[in-house]
Amino acid sequence: MTNMYICFAEYKIAAADRTAYLNYTGTLMKESDKIQLYEGTDQLNLFVEIWTAATEEEAEAIKKERCDERSPWYRIAEWIPGGADKMHVWTFKPAGAGPNAG
């Protein structure tokens, strides 16, 4: 099994912008099979994006593109109270035993 890396984005959307956000992300998600979008069950309008990548380099490239103002995904910042500064994006690597972990 190949270890996967992920780029993880987390943010809260303004309640008034929920419908616009869901319509917009629904369209964007049709363009890529590398992303999954989740909403918090305890916090309505708290969303996380999980982008999968085969390598750490690919995950970092996704992170860079995701945070770039030219990215179609960057538009989401307009629906985040506090803007892009309140969007948190990280890269994660596999944890545990094995040569690619740690």
- CB neighbourhood size of 82 (10 A): 11
The pLDDT score that the predictor gives to residue 1 is: 44
Tokens standing for residue 62 = 């996704």
The pLDDT score that the predictor gives to residue 32 is: 85
Domain ranges, ordered by start, for the chain:
13-92
pTM of the model as a whole:
0.85
Q: pLDDT tens digits for the chain (102 residues)? A: 467 999 999 999 999 999 999 999 999 999 888 899 999 999 999 999 999 999 989 999 999 999 999 999 999 999 999 999 999 999 999 887 455 555
Q: How many CA atoms lie within 13 A of 6 on its CB side?
A: 13
CA 40, CA 51: separation in Å to the nearest integer? 17
